[in-house]
Amino acid sequence: MNFGKPEIFHSGDKFRGYVVERLLGNGSLGAVYLVRHELLDTVYALKALFPDVAKENSDYVKRFLREAKIATRIRHPNLVAVHDCGFDEARGIYFIVMDYVSGGDLRQALAFAGKFAPARAVEVVLQVASALDAAQEYHVVHRDIKPENIMIQPDGTVKLVDLGIAKADGLRDSLCTEAESVFGTPAYVAPEQALDASAVDVRADIYSLGVVLFEMIAGKVPYDGPNAPQILVQTLSSDPFPDIRDINPEVDSALATVIRRMCVKECDRRIATPAALIAEFAKIGYHLKTRPAGEVKFDRSADSAPTLVSMRSLLQKSAASPDDNADPLAYETQDVEIQDFVNRLKRRKRMRRLASWAVMAVAAIAALLVFAWLVGAI
């Protein structure tokens, strides 16, 4: 899906010392390509902003460059590193070259697994918390922690992505023009962030991360609804945050307590920092594991577009289900691109069903006409 935009690159194109291998994914603002460094034979992800988007709204350019500036300022094994950034006058595009994460995102993993074992879920959260701890040293708040922004490599290493809407005090004056906007995704946004995104600190990220942990273990988010306002009404209500044991009674009480402390609606009562969160998990037996760092070499068998990966996982999950009546397309996600793809498949499925019914109806009418003709002939 290209949102009606022309392709920026094609397979085989050469760009600033890189060879474009294929499109990884795109959206309404830009596209991401898998590229190979010509000399190093190492693969990266190249994110490019559509030229007409850059011309229409300078704020998109500022957000795009903001992501690069923040990412280069913070180096951490659980953050996607940016290696290059700039404007190419010949093509008229702004671009960022960053780490390529081949394993897919947490949303895709959840689409396949349904939910995670608590130990595995906490392992993911600890790595994200470690990345947030590094970001906090630079006074950076992510503001959009959700499964789509948590990438998981094949070796289990977690990478937090999309710092484009992060709040960084040092960059605020020159780059942030949307300070009063409500950033974040409704199901994961903290109450104080829903009211005023410009005033949030890292505790808003801890709340969102707690919602992600809740979802990984319970298989569903704590607050859901048909639209954003109905979700935010629940988030902003005076009712306490749900106890995960009401959905999954097997969750250890100590872990359930930590989740609720991550998601206390009053931010001053919430676990205050990522470092404190890591320490709380250590108290109940969960520890952050160190993983060896390594670059990604070029591999033509690497995963392609995220939508394809998630749909493949979804269909595998459906095929493995013992329920013959299960609908393989009964799938909802916050990812607009994936959901649009699923909706198109649903429409095709309905059209095939309607066509089948129409054929059967025509056949039945024809049979009745033949029968009537035979009866009349007799």
Return the number of other C-beta atoms located less than 10 Å from residue 310's C-beta.
25
DSSP characters for 104-130? -BHHHHHHHHSS--HHHHHHHHHHHHH
Contacts of 11 (CB under 8 A, 6+ apart): 20, 21, 22
Q: In this structure, is the dihedral angle defined by the CA atoms of residues 83, 85, 88 and 92, taken in order, positive or negative?
A: positive
The position carrying tokens 């780059």 is 175
Q: Catalytic amino acids?
A: 144
Helix spans in the chain (H): 51-56, 58-73, 106-113, 118-136, 172-175, 191-195, 202-218, 228-236, 253-262, 274-283, 306-320, 336-377
CB–CB of 191/90 below 8 Å? no
β-pairing, 140-141 vs 43-49, is unpaired
